[in-house]
Chains A and B, each alone.
Chain A
């Protein structure tokens, strides 16, 4: 090839590459103002599935809440239950029969009427699919549908938490019976893995694992039309990338995982707004009483008091958390019942015991649990206790129950109950076979109090039972709640209607947002 031609070719290629980059710049500018009608948010990780009877995660709740609806929900900002698909409901005096009256003119996204039979089919599917959230309906004896707007649930035994399960973020959702019938061979599991069949304000238009999801407005929605016609969810695992995208205006909000150290930058940025909402997330210290060094409740108490919980929480969380008032997550039980007291005490006995501990925490994008474990190490060192923080994956922690003798000494975790009822907490963290009872804590009196509370239809008497369970568990110093953690949402300043429910972690109501 002659030299001149080679030079021209090289110049042309260079020019084309430069043009690619520069034209992209203009295009990118255009994308930022592309459409006032599109809401851009990001998830740190993929949703495992979009099937409402299998989905049992936190990341992705905003999508599930936008495309599916249940009978009940919690009102924004609190723990009061209100109707979602149900207009009203009644509970029989014996606490066994729940009668729901559906709202008028309910429809699914494809226009199929949403009636009591459709609700029954959805509830039955949850039990048949038999995945994580199926436990919520384990106590159901039978269903009745006396007319299209009346749905009756009969329980085998009273369950005072049942309404809260129906208001939970992972509650049984109404699934389009047409889809269930057309895909009955596998209970529509393949279909619902990546597609929606709900009655919510949005439908899943596109579900691409690893890339993101597109939600579009449900044109047949029976309720108020959402402001944004499209919601684009991008999978962006790196929090730094999310922050840069937010600051550039390519993201509307970061609903969780914002590093606390970066919050001052948000407060000084006029284009961004910081909102803090109470949640049921409660940072707790699990102390492995099966280990010799932690077998004595007095030693466990001395360790907790040596940490100076109040200043520890303030140092780690700043204003985004507070020290618990009682043994339950915020708002589950009257704060005056089952109170906790973590006042620093005499820890001099600890120094001579040669205690060595490993403190395990699970990773979180904000890094707050690592910081907490590090500070605990420092404070314990000051009283002669040699502690070593270590990060572990969730699967390791779930294996502790099978081998408590070789499990960690202390586990730092921030669990949140499925509903805003004390039973949803006590039964998972204190009950002898509770799923979040990592070190097999067992106190028969606690179990008995929880069991009494569950079937006690008188609310005041039930509260006393739960208070007793909380007091007994607190006195054992095995599971120690140390912080009521807020959900911190960072959003564009012009984004309005950021609504949050304490029992729906890391989630804002996408349909309520506007600009």
Chain B
């Protein structure tokens, strides 16, 4: 286990270093003058040059790269052209909202995926709807789901709010930045329920596609496990079907869905950019969206690196979870 974690840590450093390099090269390769765009159309050339110098963008590329690498190692990403603040601080402000949304969506996706996958195998009545869901759910993009959900649950039914994380003016913002958790820590059930209501639509919009993918893989995996000799033996010995499923078959069928869940989290983070924009969810997706419009490359690079690091960590956790679920896997 320790060796596995060590190897993974070294691998992660390599991946992130490669990512930093690619991101830096992209920053320099993208045509244009983001400094001019940031200081404003009528700013004098002197102002533009002074700003370029202040940001170190007048230095030779190797110097800029070394500076950037140094900043990243120290946990910084440079100054945002758009907000004028350190990108690290900006990401720190926006990241909790995304973590909360992504966590909630993954929870829905995993629970939903397990439910769909299991029902598709054990319930003959659910087999046809499950097949429809597998085809339909996989082909509907999250932004379309978002718009459909908004139209039905906000506009037509008035059940759920359109945007933002909460409507409560004095909602707690600390200590974690995760509103659900902070509201519980501050004993504010009103904020908790309100935050939950705000999470439902963007969470569902993000969760449906991963849930279907997880469910589909789990179904295939379960069918294969059910065909194995030891399951037949368990049935023959008279073990109740529920025990066979939950104690034996499901555990051995979880490896592939867990891998899929890890992959889906990466895709989900990609979908966050659009879904956060539609729901005005103040996370790094929204931050990235605004930064792209502004060609704020340092902000874009910072978000890319944070998401990349998150992806590496999640996949390591998935490997650990797989090993825990399936004793045949050795780390």
Residues of A bordering B, CB below 8 Å: 20-25, 27-29, 31, 45-46, 48-49, 54, 56-57, 130-135, 138, 193, 208-212, 234-238, 240-241, 244-245, 247-248, 250, 363, 393-399, 401-403, 415, 418, 428, 433, 435-436
Q: Of the 9-residue stretches B15-23, B157-165, B250-258, B308-316, which lies at the interface with chain A?
A: B157-165
A241-B162 in contact given A131-B39, A248-B154, A418-B42 (Cβ < 8 Å)? yes
| Bound Cα distance from A29 to B161, whole angstroms | 10
State the B residues within 8 Å of A (CB).
30-34, 36-45, 47, 50-51, 82-85, 90, 93-94, 97, 147, 150-151, 154-155, 157-165, 167, 193-194, 196-197, 200, 277-280, 282-283, 286-287, 289-290, 292-295
- Chain A residues within an 8 Å CB radius of B90: 209
Residues of chain B within 8 A of A250, CB atoms compared: 162
CB distance from A227 to the nearest CB of B (A): 21
Contact indicator A238/B295 (Cβ below 8 Å): no
Distance of A361 from chain B, by nearest CB (Å): 14
Can you show 23 pairs from A to B with CB atoms below 8 A apart? A21-B159, A25-B160, A28-B160, A54-B84, A131-B51, A132-B42, A132-B43, A132-B47, A134-B43, A135-B44, A212-B164, A234-B163, A234-B280, A237-B286, A237-B290, A248-B158, A394-B294, A395-B32, A395-B37, A395-B294, A397-B32, A399-B32, A403-B31
What's the Cα separation between A393 and B297 when bound, in Å? 12
- CB B275 to nearest CB in A, in angstroms, measures 10
CA A469 – CA B287 in complex, angstroms? 43
Pair B161/A28 contact, Cβ less than 8 Å? yes
Is the beta-carbon distance between A398 and B37 smaller than 8 angstroms?
Answer: yes
Contacts A235-B286, A363-B293, A435-B42 given; does A247 touch B159 at CB 8 Å: no
Q: How far is the CA of A283 from the CA of B159 in the complex (A)?
A: 42
B277 proximity list for chain A (CB < 8 A): 237-238
Q: What separation, in Å, do the CA atoms of A247 and B196 have in the docked complex?
A: 25
With a 10 A CB-CB cut-off, give which of A20, A22, A57, A212 has the most chain B CB atoms: A20
Residue pair A20, B280 in contact (C-beta under 8 Å): no
User: In whole Å, how far is A195's beta carbon from the nearest beta carbon of chain B?
Assistant: 15
The residues of A that contact B282 with a CB separation of less than 8 Å are 208-211, 235
Are B280 and A241 closer than 8 Å at their CB atoms?
yes
- Please name all residues of chain B whose beta carbon is closer than 8 Å to the beta carbon of A394 when the two chains form the complex: 32, 37, 294-295
Count: A-B pairs, CB below 8 Å: 173
Q: Which of B83, B154, B158 contacts A209 (CB 8 A)?
A: B83
Q: Do A396 and B295 contact each other (CB < 8 Å), given the known contacts A209-B93, A240-B147?
A: yes
Distance of B97 from chain A, by nearest CB (Å): 8
Q: Residue on A with the closest CB to B274? A: A238
A245 adjacent to B162 (CB under 8 Å):
yes
Partner of A25, one of B41, B158, B286: B158
Contact of B155 among A46, A211, A236, A244 (CB under 8 A): A244
Residues of B within 8 A of A24 (CB): 159-161, 193-194, 197
Which chain B residues border A363 with CB–CB below 8 Å?
Answer: 293
The answer to whether A241 and B31 touch across the interface, beta carbons within 8 angstroms, is no
How far is the CB of B21 from the nearest CB of chain A, in Å? Answer: 22
Q: Known: A237-B289, A435-B43. Contact between A244 and B154, CB under 8 A? A: yes
Residue of A nearest to B296 (CB): A395
Residues of B within 8 A of A29 (CB): 158
Flag if A133 contacts B32 (CB, 8 Å). no
In the complex, what distance in Å separates the CA atom of A397 from the CA atom of B50? 20
Q: Are A398 and B36 in contact (CB under 8 A)?
A: yes
Shortest CB-to-CB span from B293 to chain A, Å, is 7
Contact check: which of A210, A247, A435 meets B41 at CB < 8 Å? Answer: A435
Query: For residue A28, which residues in chain B have a CB less than 8 angstroms away from its CB?
Result: 158-161
Chain B contacts for A22, CB-based, 8 A: 159
6 closest Cβ contacts across the A-B interface? A132-B40, A395-B295, A210-B282, A56-B40, A399-B32, A396-B32
